Amino acid sequence: MINRDTERYHAFTRRALLLGAGKLALFSVLAGRLVWLQVVEQEKFQTLSDKNRISLRLVPAGRGEIVDRFGVPLAINTRNFRAFIVPEQTQDIEKTLDRLSKHIPIPPEDRAAVLGEVGQHRPFTPLLVRENLTWDDMARVEVHIPDLPGVSVEEGEMRSYPLGAATAHIVGYVGRVSQAEIDAVNKPDPVMTIPGFRIGKSGVEKQYDEILRGQAGKVQAEVNVVGREIREINSLPAVKGTRLSLTLDADLQSQCQDFIAREKSASAILMDAHTGEVYALCSHPAFDPEIFSKGIPADLWEELLSSDAHPLTNKIVSGQYPPGSTFKMVTALAVMKAGISPQATVYCPGHYMLGRGKFHCWKGGGHGWMDAVQAISQSCDVYFYEMANRIGVDAIADMARELGLGSRLGFDIPGEGTGLVPDKDWKRRRRNAIWNPGETLNTSIGQGDVLATPLQLATMTARLVNGGKAVKPVLVRAIDRIPVRENVWPDLKLHPAHLRSVRRGMEAVVNERRGTGYGARIQEEGFEMGGKSGTAQVRRITDAMRAQGIKNEDLPWKFRHHALFVAYAPIHQPKYVTAVVVEHGVGGSKAAAPIARDILLAAQKRDPRKNRHQNGEE
C-alpha cells in the first residue's frame, strides 16, 4: 500500500511540475510579448496612435501671378466666394437647398452633384454647393444663415485672366484635377487630391504648373474617433507660387490679336531677331480662359471642339503648314553654299521641263532672266526649280535644318509641332521608296511634304536677318523677379555675302514695284520692312477646273490655299521679325502681308529707342 501511495504521490508531483512549467513558459511568452510591444515597439505604436488621434490637413497655396515684361498682369487670383453645406447639420438637406436657391442660383446639375456626394463622404464633411458667387450673393446668404442650417460661405481664390481671349493660347488656363492626371504621375503632389484643386491645363499655366502652384500649408488637428476635428494643434503656412514674368508686351499682344481677328482663322508671332524674346503670340479664333476656371458648360465645350476654325488650337506652336514660297530663302542660301553665285541667272518662260514633266511657274507668261535677288523678289518658281535640280534635295534639307525647320525648338508652351523637312533618307525610312527628282522641285518652293510651324518660320526669318545667329524663341523673362540668364546664340557660320543677297531680295519683295508684296509695304520713312509671301496649296486646281474658269478663291473655304508672310523691320537694322499665317486666305500678299505690316509698324512705333530716333533726339 505504502509503495503504491508513494508512486501516486510522485506521479502527481511530476504532473504538477510539468503543468507549472508549462504555465510558467506561457506566462514568460506573454510577458515577453508585452515587453516587446510596450518597450521595443513603443515608438511604432505611439505613431499609430497619433495617426488615429491627429489629422493632417493640406491648405492650398495661392497660385503665382503671370505678368508681361512691364509687370502688366496676365494671370492673377481674385476672390471667390463659395457656398458649402454640412449634411449632419441639417435635418433635410433637400429642403435646405430649396431655401438656399431662393437667394442664389443653383443649377439642377449642381444640386444633383451635391445630393450625389452626400453618401460618399462623412456627414460632417462640407460639400461645395456653388462657387464664383458675387458679393451680393454672398451677402444675401449671410443675412439668411439662421434659416439655412448647415450652410456657410467661405472666401477662396479663383484664377482670372485680365486680357481674356487675347492671351488664352499663350498663358493658358487652369482646371480641376482629373483622376487620369493623378494616375499619370508616379508620385502625385498630395494637394492634387484636394476637392476642387486646380492645375494648369494648357500654355504657360501647364508648362510651369509646379512652381506656379507653390507649396501647400499644413494644419495638424486633433480629431475624435469618427474623424471630426476637435481642435487645431499646429499649422505651417502655405507658400505662394512663383511669379513669372514673360517676354510678352501686353499692348502689342492685344493689337496683334485684333489684327488677325479680321480673318476667320489666323495666327501671328512677333519676336526679337537677336534675343529671341517673343513680344506677341496670337492665334484666332480664341476663347475666354476663365470659363475653364469656373467650369465650362458641356454645350460650349462641344461648340469649341466642333468648330472648323479650331479655337482651342494654338496655331503658332502646333499648326503645321507647307511654307510655300517663304521657303525660297532656304533654297537660295543652299544654292549659294553649294558654290553657285547669286548673280547666276536662269531663264523663266513660265514653266520648267523635267523629262516629260511640266512644272508651272505661278506667272504663266514667265519672268524672263532671273538671278537670286530677283527670284526672291518676284518669287520666280522656275529659278528655284532649276537650281534645286542642280544641287539636290539633301543640300536644301541641311540648310532648312540649320535655319530652325524640321524639329522642335524647345519653346515654353506644350504641344509644339516638329514640322517636316523631307530628304532622300527620310523617304527611304518612312515610305521605303526612292526619292525622285520631281519631289526636289516641289521641295524647293516649300510644297510637297515640307511642313513648318509659324514659330519655326519666325525663327528662320530671325536667323536670316540677325547675321546667322542660331536664335530660338524665348518666352520667360524672369522667375520670381530673378532675370533668366540670356542665351548666347551660336554662330551658324553662314557667309555674310549670301545673307546680304537674301535680305536684298526680301527688301525688294515689298519695296520695289515688281515685288510680290509691294502693295503691303510700310510707306512711313524709317519704318520700312522686308519680307516674303507664300501660298500653301491645300487642294490642287486641275486643268479641267482652270478650263472652266474656276479659281482657288471660288472653292469652299476649307479647300482654299493658306496665305503666309514672313517679315522683318527696320530694313537697315533688323530688330523685329514676324510670321503670319491666314488659314485658307488664298494669297500671302493679299491676306497675310497687310497683317505683318501692321504688326511691324505697331512694334516699331512702340519702341522708345525708335521714337527718339524719329524725333531727332540723341
How confident is the model over 213-255, as pLDDT tens digits? 988 888 777 665 545 556 767 778 888 999 999 999 999 999 9
Residues belonging to the active site: 325
In terms of residue numbers, what domain contains 170?
A: 56-246
> Whole-angstrom Cα distance, residue 151 to residue 213?
29
235 plus 263 within the same structural domain:
no
For residue 161, tell me if it sits in a domain: yes
CATH number of the domain that residue 164 is part of: 3.90.1310.10
In tens, the pLDDT along 111-145 reads 888 888 787 767 767 788 888 788 888 888 888 88
Residue 51: CB atoms within 10 A of its CB come to: 10
Max Cα–Cα distance, the chain, nearest Å? 147
Same domain, 242 and 254: no
Tell whether 581 and 603 lie within a shared domain.
Answer: yes
pLDDT in tens, 367-422: 999 999 999 999 999 999 999 999 999 999 999 999 999 999 999 999 999 999 99
Asked if the model's pLDDT at residue 612 lies above 50, the reply is no
Q: Is residue 257 domain-shared with residue 398, that is, in the same domain? A: yes
Residue 60, preceding peptide bond in cis (omega within 30° of 0): no
Strand ranges, E, within 255-332:
266-272, 278-284
Phi, psi of 284 (to 5 degrees): -130, 140
Confidence at residue 171, expressed as pLDDT on a 0 to 100 scale: 96
Does 426 score more than 50 pLDDT? yes
Higher pLDDT among residues 348 and 86, named by residue = 348
470/597 same-domain check: yes
Residues 378, 451 share a domain:
yes
Which pTM was predicted? 0.83
Residue 29 lies in a domain: no
Angle in degrees, CA 388, 394, 400, rounded to 5: 85
Overall average pLDDT of the 466-476 stretch: 96
Pick the last residue of a domain from 228, 246, 264.
246
Q: Which of 207, 226, 246 is the last residue of a domain?
A: 246
Confidence of residue 613 (pLDDT cuts 50, 70, 90): very low
Burial classification of residue 111, based on how many CB atoms lie within 10 Å of its CB (0-12 exposed, 13-18 middle, 19 or more buried): middle
C-alpha 563/C-alpha 331 separation (Å) is: 20
Residue 435 lies inside a defined structural domain of this protein: yes
Average pLDDT over residues 441-469: 97
Burial pattern 309-344, b for ≥16 Cβ within 10 A else e, equals bbbebbbbbbbbbbbbbbbbbbbbbbbbbeeeebee
The CATH number assigned to the domain holding 468 equals 3.40.710.10
Which of 211, 227, 246 delimits the end of a domain? 246
- Residue 194 lies inside a defined structural domain of this protein: yes
Average pLDDT over residues 259-288: 96
Same-domain pairing of 282 and 163: no
**Other beta carbons within 10 Å of 414:** 16
In a domain, residue 172? The reply is: yes
Q: Is residue 20 part of a domain?
A: no
Domain shared by 291 and 214, yes or no: no
Query: Is the same domain home to 480 and 467?
Result: yes
In a domain, 221, yes or no: yes
Q: How far is C-alpha 595 from the chain's CA centre?
A: 23
Same domain, 465 and 600: yes
What pLDDT does 250 receive? 97
For residue 21, is it within any domain? no
The pLDDT confidence band at residue 536, using thresholds 50, 70 and 90, is confident
C-alpha closest to that of 210 among 239, 170, 242: 242
Claim to verify: residue 284 and residue 400 sit in the same structural domain:
yes
Is there a contact between 565 and 534 (Cβ–Cβ < 8 Å)? yes
- Residue pLDDT, tens place only, 291-306: 887 777 778 888 888 8
The cell numbers describing 290, all together, are 476663365
Verify that 340 and 452 share a domain, yes or no.
yes
Domain count of the fold of the chain: 2
